[in-house]
Structure 1
Amino acid sequence: MFDDWKEAFLSFITSRIFVLMVLFCGFFGILMSRVFVLQIIDGKQYAESFTMKIRKEVSIASTRGRIFDRNGEVLADNVLSYSVTIEDNGTYQTTREKQATLNRTILKVIDIMESHGDSSINDFGIIYQNGHYAYTQEGTSLLRFKADVYGYKTIAELEDKPEEYVSTADQMMEYLCGNKKYFISPDAYSEDQIKQYHVPTDLTPEQILKLVTVRYQMSTNSYKRYVATTIASDVSDETVAEILENQSELQGVDIAQNSLRVYPDAEYFANIIGYIGKPDQDELESLQEENEDYEANDIVGKAGIEQYMETSLQGKKGQRTIYVDSVGNVLETESETAPESGEDLYLTIDKNLQKAAYDVLEQRVAGILVSKIRNMKTYDKSAGHSAADILIPIYDVYYALIDNHIIDTTHFSADDATDLEKSIQTRLESRRASTIDRIRAELTSDQPAAYTDLSIDMKNYMSYIVSDILMGSHQVLMKSAVNTEDPTYIAWAQDETISLKEYLEYAISMNWVDVSGLDVKASYLSSEEIYQVVVDYISTELENDVDFQTMLYKYMLLDDIVTGKEICLLLYEQGVLEYDEETVGRLQNGSYSAYNFMLDEIGKLEITPAQLALEPCSAGCVITDPNTGEVLACVSYPGYDNNRLTNTMDSAYFASLNLDHSSPLYSKATQQQTAPGSTFKPVTAVAGLEEGVISPSEIIHATGVFTDAYGSPTCWIYNQYHGSHGNINMVDAIRVSCNYYFYEVGFRLGGGRSTGYSSEKALSLLAKYATEFGLNAKSGIELSESDPQLSSQDGIRSAIGQGNALFTVSQLARYVGTIANRGTVYNLTLLDKLTDSEGNTIEDYPSSVYNKMEIADVDWNTIQEGLHQVALNTKAFDGLDLTIAGKTGTAQQSKSHPNHALFMGYAPYENPQIALAIRIANGYTSANAAAMASDIFKYYFNLEGKEDLFNGGASQATSEVIND
């Protein structure tokens, strides 16, 4: 029996079962020993580690300082509001679970908000339009945006990544939606994961963009999970209630109370005040050099005074000390230091004067437009007419409403488009197809027409194809490769004697064409095949090109395929104008013509010059105290609503401002430059007097044609009447703005008949005295301002302001203020004082002097009397109970564009209180600028007629024509 047990035992221990049992027992023993170590020996240590608290410092934003005008009127304020926020504070098993949950939560929050009329943040640099995503910025700003999105610190780093450097908005969105970033696309998940995580597969492009916008903002907080990201600001009470009711289902979502920046009179002050928002990387680094406390999610000044005075307005952040666990959840708050409000800023601006001047500019520009619009289809600007006689066809007005995006043509194909919109869309599609066929036929013809022999519309299409389609982003026709001195290029671009087909075929033979970036399957193509690829590319691009589509509307209008009446009705259907049943009925039955309707609407300012963006559509004005350099008004028309750019930017609105042909973001007061025209003549007069080449009483016989100069420049009186001013002294020469007289002064400054004329010498002396007046430098105003340009060509013509000198209105304002105070060149300033929240002054900003001119009193008397005589002989100032001095100026752009109109002056003449400079770009005649000045003088000095200034409509254009 023992042997049986022994044999059984030996059989068991040598069996596979025994080996497995030993192995299982061994593993079990190891496991139990590990559990013993974890729970008994090291249990306390791991328990403490699990509940470990990490100490963190959290910044608390301060309340931004307010901005006031000189009289304490609020220009920028703060209001309390509710915001919807989200924190990435959930715990997830996998990355895909986390991404899907975040996306689902954000979409649900957006749905809740939109159901109550609120919207999520829209400050991402991409919008969706015309079936594609598009960037809202261009140039350096776009490159900075791309660098930020793709995670590069500098633009230079981005440039080393060609695919990302040239990426389209569609390509960037594809990247952001994929599994490298936010896992929004269903392609980032498997089929099982789509079901498991409830990933939506039917999001619209608009929904995707909203989701990307929030996710991108959250990503800037990715290193601080306990810092909330704002999804929406200033939401309604209904949104607040529903969010709080559903908060248990919305991981990380909360309601916060914060301070929002508001601008009570946005369009009047936007170009002065600017706006605030999150800094880009360059802005952040610049701010951190001044104060290391700045962070990526701070709200900072982005433009205007908000940017210039950022560090004073920002205030001091508070600090909250918190404890978070190992996954970023806040466990407790240890301490908190309250933030300190920013300092309040008082400007030198007079709010009421600023608003009055803005309204004057708009009314006067509208009046000029109304006076020039005629009931015609076209106007030939090359027919030899004077620039002062250029007319505006009513069909240009109709087209302007489309070209400047006042009428939204993208809505014509929307699901909720009206019958009229759908009808026009059908006509457009038909016209587009036929036009592309015409273009393709021309490009493939055996005998294509030379450019000069094409119809006007085909000329424009062919030019557009070269400049925008072929030399656009794909650079099919490589700009860097084209030899502009090549005879064939000259035959195309200058002589216009060959066809586009001939030019492109030659460009291919010269390797100026690159089709490698197109979808070409063959690796080698013959010249004929390359040309066919190019033609196909042109056709495909034109099918979807928005600008080409806009061009089509111009010729559809001219061919009466779309009528003026339909354009007028669209203004009501799209809500541009408030619906008026009676007016709509009259338009429909033909008793009210589209022409008269447009004149009436412009006259009532229901349709503004800014919306039409025709010539003229803008103006700038700077009003100063000539005794201190304080800026009382700095007006740029048109303005914009900076409320929509501040706090969180409305990207779609920002994009529309960039597309607006009236350029509202571009200050007409401090950035727009033109030649000074005759407003420069006082500089020439001072130079002539101080250099002793002429005296105040010397008589010059002005014949009308100055034969001592190359080309024999003429005086305006000779051009107009073949006349001359005859014997004339300096005061009279300023009064009548005699070009001949100032040609002679410029000639003498260059050596004249005594030592032989030198243009360089004349230019040097003119520059010397222009520099004395401060015209060589920026005015000192605390806004973005263009650098002035002194004339560097033709000393004689430069003497009348017709060289290549360029100045802003702000620079002309400082210049005329210097004449008014007889030689003190102040640095213009917008800043008055800084105060604390209790109104106690922290810092004053006294006047500062740029230069003090040493000019003889007799010379100042001569200049000022000449300017006084100008005002006395200007009809716009007739009947004003006020003595005025000033100078008109007309700057020619080209014969096909109306001249720029300028006026600078001051009042009262004997004891100046204000000085001003005005420019109307393409304002026809300086009499229009003088009329603006007259209105401003009436308002400021409370003169008779002030009560009639602001009647809510266009001012009647002046009939006066000033020749200068």
Structure 2
Amino acid sequence: MEFDHKGDVKRSRLSRRALMLGGIQASVAAVIGWRMHQLGVKEGDQYRLLAEENRINIQLLPPARGLIYDRDGDLLTINDRVYAIEMVREQSRDPELILNRLAQLLPLTQEDIDKALADMKKRRAFVPVTVATGLEWEHIAAVSANAPALPGVTPVLGLNRQYPKGPEFSHIVGYVGSVSDYDLNETDDHDPLLRIPRFKIGKTGIEATLEKPLRGEAGIKRIEVNSLGRVIRELDRKEGASGVDIQLTVGQELQTYTLNRLKGHSASAVVMDVTNGDILALASGPTFDSNKFLKPISQADWKEMNDPHYRPLVNKAVAGTYPPGSTFKMVVALAGLEAGLIDSSEEVYCPGHMEVANRKFHCWKRGGHGHVHLREALRYSCDVYFYDLALRVGIEKITQMAHKLGLGERPNIQLPSIKEGLMPTKDWKRKVKKKDWVLGDSINAGIGQGFVLASPLQLAVMTARIASGMKIEPRLINLYNNEVYPTRGLEPLDINPNHLAIIRSGMSEVSNHRRGTAYGARLKPEQGGPMAGKTGTSQVRQITAAERRKGVVRNEDLPWNRRDHALFVAFAPVQNPRYAISVVVEHGGGGSAVAAPIARDIMARTIKLGDKGYGNLPNNRTREQT
């Protein structure tokens, strides 16, 4: 029997190779089995979510807006918790269909639906859009219960700005409103918060001028959502920084009283502390309620707010400019004294008019005041005295003095639409009016008419500087982010103190001499007086020679918008000045009859409230008031 040795060898090699191959195949199978176990059991949830097209979304967390307090530490703004509904376009598949479903659960109008659709088209598909806000818990519960039929819809809890003292502080605090396309086009601010539909920013007042610090900085959260837009989990979150808190120098009690005293008039008033420039009251009437701008305004409210005569939306205290009338005579007098062109005893004869270049410029007193010196000219408010003085001093020196006293200068406080008024010069008239300056222009400027314009705030600053002898600057904010806001302008004015004393003496006679123009509105000792002041009446129409021959028509017999403006400025107490005030009543008639009594009452209340310090802010206050 013969053996095939070579065949055995070949068969042996094939058996070993088969075993090796089988082993390798078994090993691969084992690895695959183990990995399938990992994928199917241990990591099944993770990959199941991925299979459902889950994605990681990054969302901005709007910060809590900074709070605003009054002088006493009482809140002027509140961040109320509010329920809202957000919607992501790319997750909702058919936004219009989903919105119509929502309308069956929420108080959504067709206009609301159209606006939401328009907002979605303007933003990227993954950006959440606020569909409804200010909802009740019942609405949120209904949406949550119907979540499977509402892909891309998410209930959220946010903050809504409210103004508990709305009408009293509307012109100072202002209000917030949704970011508009106009806002985006007008700003260089690239904060992504501004791209969130219906995100609120300051529109007027301090809310607008201090928008960025009040807004704070956004936080970020990462969430995992499935293909239906349902939130699976929140992965992580980084909280933002809340806006800064601000405390005003204005107190609610005096502010409310001032507005009530202006009631019935289109008027404004400013009260200042002459020792440091603190604004204690800044009122413009009639006012409006800031809270009405937090939701759609009714036609009736909008019509009332846009009254063309009383203009409730305009902050007349800073944005209104008026011929200052006789309240400007202190400026002309100081210009003459500082130039050495007059002294306090020099007399001017007033026959009731002055004739220049064949034109008569009349004094308010038809028969004239006779011979008067400076104090008497202020006491009686003699126009002829200041006609003469203005011609001698010249407009350039008058305007220089006006700037020293804060007129023609834009006050540096944190409010929008602040006007700088107008203190004219010869060059100004040539450039703007394309005409040369004439003697009549100087005469008109001598009594605060013609081209001269000033705001109530500027008149208060002027009065505070005369009373204190310092270059005092208005101050509206006491605390900014818990730090004291600086006081400015405590250096002496570049004006002879003796000349300021003469002016203060003349102003005292206006209010306290029996023949002074404001004696009827004097501040009595039991009210904290005496008070030094100056009346002013500025014309808004030209009185013709024919009318003067027949007799000038009385203000009360004219249409309201053709009557003179009534003005009054004052400081008190006379011997140790502490407070300054200015009052302007549009078309109020005479300053002594209308503006002076208002100023007296406000000054009396200011003194009664006394040297009230600033109230402390809550130490552990929250940004949300529930």
TM bin, normalised by shorter chain, reads 0.7 to 0.9
1:854 aligns with 2:494: yes
> Residue 53 of structure 1: CA displacement?
5.0
Q: Is the 8 A contact 1:645 1:654 kept in 2?
A: no
Q: 1:829 aligns with which of 469, 475, 481?
A: 475
**Alpha carbons of structure 1 residues 651 and 212: separation in structure 2 relative to 1, 3 Å:** farther
**Alpha carbons of structure 1 residues 316 and 210: separation in structure 2 relative to 1, 3 Å:** closer
Q: Which runs of 5+ in 2 are unaligned?
A: 1-46, 430-436, 544-557, 610-626
Counterpart CA distance in 2 for 1:226 and 1:854 is 59
* Secondary structure of the corresponding residue to residue 75 of structure 1: coil
Q: Which residue of 2 aligns with 1:914?
A: 579
Q: 2:445 aligns with which of 788, 798, 803?
A: 798
Q: Which residue of 2 aligns with 1:868?
A: 508
Q: Which residue of 2 aligns with 1:232?
A: 133
Counterpart CA distance in 1 for 2:230 and 2:406 is 60
1:621 aligns with 2:269: yes
Q: Is the 8 A contact 1:276 1:299 kept in 2?
A: yes
Counterpart CA distance in 2 for 1:53 and 1:854 is 73
> Residue 657 of structure 1: CA displacement?
5.3
**Alpha carbons of structure 1 residues 623 and 799: separation in structure 2 relative to 1, 3 Å:** same
Q: Which residue of 2 aligns with 1:351?
A: 252
Q: 1:336 aligns with which of 224, 227, 237?
A: 237
> Residue 216 of structure 1: CA displacement?
3.2
> Residue 301 of structure 1: CA displacement?
1.4
> Residue 734 of structure 1: CA displacement?
0.4
Pairwise mapping of residues 118-133 of structure 1 onto structure 2 (< 5 A)?
none
> Residue 331 of structure 1: CA displacement?
4.8
Counterpart CA distance in 2 for 1:851 and 1:713 is 39
Q: Which has the higher strand share?
A: 2
* Secondary structure of the corresponding residue to residue 480 of structure 2: strand
> Residue 232 of structure 1: CA displacement?
2.4
1:808 aligns with 2:455: yes
> Residue 324 of structure 1: CA displacement?
4.9
Counterpart CA distance in 2 for 1:332 and 1:712 is 86
* Secondary structure of the corresponding residue to residue 222 of structure 2: strand
Counterpart CA distance in 2 for 1:81 and 1:293 is 18
Counterpart CA distance in 2 for 1:272 and 1:653 is 24
1:305 aligns with 2:203: no
Length, aligned pairs only = 520
Q: Which residue of 2 aligns with 1:766?
A: 398
Q: 1:931 aligns with which of 591, 594, 597?
A: 597
Counterpart CA distance in 2 for 1:746 and 1:776 is 18
Pairwise mapping of residues 321-470 of structure 1 onto structure 2 (< 5 A)?
321-324=222-225, 330-362=231-263, 365=264
Q: Which amino acid aligns with 1:101?
A: L
Q: Is the 8 A contact 1:278 1:296 kept in 2?
A: no
Q: Is the 8 A contact 2:92 2:229 kept in 1?
A: no
Q: Which residue of 2 aligns with 1:260?
A: 160
Q: Which amino acid aligns with 1:279?
A: V
> Residue 700 of structure 1: CA displacement?
1.5
* Secondary structure of the corresponding residue to residue 727 of structure 1: strand
Q: CA offsets, 1:538-591, max 9 Å, x none?
A: xxxxxxxxxxxxxxxxxxxxxxxxxxxxxxxxxxxxxxxxxxxxxxxxxxxxxx
Counterpart CA distance in 1 for 2:55 and 2:91 is 17
**Alpha carbons of structure 1 residues 742 and 769: separation in structure 2 relative to 1, 3 Å:** same
> Residue 56 of structure 1: CA displacement?
3.7
Q: Is the 8 A contact 2:62 2:193 kept in 1?
A: no
Q: Is the 8 A contact 1:89 1:329 kept in 2?
A: no
Q: Percent identity?
A: 28
* Secondary structure of the corresponding residue to residue 352 of structure 2: coil
Q: Which residue of 2 aligns with 1:211?
A: 113
1:645 aligns with 2:545: no
* Secondary structure of the corresponding residue to residue 716 of structure 1: coil
**Alpha carbons of structure 1 residues 630 and 75: separation in structure 2 relative to 1, 3 Å:** same
> Residue 345 of structure 1: CA displacement?
0.7
Q: Which residue of 2 aligns with 1:699?
A: 347
Q: Which amino acid aligns with 2:537?
A: T
**Alpha carbons of structure 1 residues 282 and 240: separation in structure 2 relative to 1, 3 Å:** closer
**Alpha carbons of structure 1 residues 788 and 232: separation in structure 2 relative to 1, 3 Å:** same
Q: Is the 8 A contact 1:709 1:796 kept in 2?
A: no
Pairwise mapping of residues 73-84 of structure 1 onto structure 2 (< 5 A)?
73-84=74-85
TM-score of the aligned structures, taking structure 2 as reference length = 0.77
* Secondary structure of the corresponding residue to residue 264 of structure 1: coil
Q: 1:787 aligns with which of 412, 420, 444?
A: 420
> Residue 280 of structure 1: CA displacement?
2.9
Counterpart CA distance in 2 for 1:209 and 1:783 is 34
1:731 aligns with 2:361: no
Q: CA offsets, 1:105-157, max 9 Å, x none?
A: 34324xx43xxxxxx5xxxxxxxxxxxxxxxxxxxxxxxxxxxxxxxxxxxxx
Q: Which residue of 2 aligns with 1:940?
A: 606
Backbone CA RMSD of aligned residues: 2.7
Counterpart CA distance in 2 for 1:921 and 1:353 is 22
Counterpart CA distance in 1 for 2:152 and 2:298 is 26
Q: Is the 8 A contact 2:119 2:129 kept in 1?
A: no
Counterpart CA distance in 2 for 1:917 and 1:91 is 59
Q: Which residue of 1 aligns with 2:16?
A: none
Counterpart CA distance in 2 for 1:332 and 1:86 is 18
Q: Is the 8 A contact 2:411 2:420 kept in 1?
A: no
Q: Which amino acid aligns with 1:790?
A: M
**Alpha carbons of structure 1 residues 651 and 284: separation in structure 2 relative to 1, 3 Å:** farther
Q: Which moved more, 1:702-711 or 1:803-812?
A: 702-711
Counterpart CA distance in 1 for 2:603 and 2:335 is 30
* Secondary structure of the corresponding residue to residue 76 of structure 2: strand
1:889 aligns with 2:536: yes
Counterpart CA distance in 2 for 1:246 and 1:914 is 63
> Residue 89 of structure 1: CA displacement?
5.3
Q: Which amino acid aligns with 1:854?
A: D
> Residue 82 of structure 1: CA displacement?
2.3
Q: CA offsets, 1:284-319, max 9 Å, x none?
A: 466654856643433221111111222222222211
**Alpha carbons of structure 1 residues 913 and 223: separation in structure 2 relative to 1, 3 Å:** same
> Residue 640 of structure 1: CA displacement?
1.1
Q: Is the 8 A contact 2:565 2:589 kept in 1?
A: yes
Q: Which amino acid aligns with 1:787?
A: E
* Secondary structure of the corresponding residue to residue 806 of structure 1: coil
Q: Is the 8 A contact 1:85 1:253 kept in 2?
A: yes
Q: Is the 8 A contact 1:636 1:667 kept in 2?
A: yes
Counterpart CA distance in 2 for 1:55 and 1:84 is 20
> Residue 84 of structure 1: CA displacement?
3.7
**Alpha carbons of structure 1 residues 878 and 288: separation in structure 2 relative to 1, 3 Å:** closer
Q: Which amino acid aligns with 1:213?
A: K
**Alpha carbons of structure 1 residues 48 and 909: separation in structure 2 relative to 1, 3 Å:** closer
Counterpart CA distance in 1 for 2:259 and 2:525 is 21
> Residue 829 of structure 1: CA displacement?
2.1
> Residue 655 of structure 1: CA displacement?
4.0
Q: 2:216 aligns with which of 315, 320, 323?
A: 315
TM-score of the aligned structures, taking structure 1 as reference length = 0.51
**Alpha carbons of structure 1 residues 72 and 292: separation in structure 2 relative to 1, 3 Å:** same
Q: Is the 8 A contact 2:565 2:585 kept in 1?
A: yes
Q: 2:176 aligns with which of 266, 276, 280?
A: 276
Counterpart CA distance in 2 for 1:303 and 1:225 is 32
Counterpart CA distance in 2 for 1:77 and 1:239 is 23
Q: Which amino acid aligns with 1:924?
A: G
* Secondary structure of the corresponding residue to residue 343 of structure 1: coil
Counterpart CA distance in 1 for 2:179 and 2:504 is 48
Q: Which amino acid aligns with 1:229?
A: T
> Residue 808 of structure 1: CA displacement?
1.1
Counterpart CA distance in 1 for 2:306 and 2:148 is 44
Q: Is the 8 A contact 2:68 2:246 kept in 1?
A: yes
**Alpha carbons of structure 1 residues 851 and 52: separation in structure 2 relative to 1, 3 Å:** farther
**Alpha carbons of structure 1 residues 655 and 50: separation in structure 2 relative to 1, 3 Å:** farther
Q: Is the 8 A contact 1:106 1:211 kept in 2?
A: no
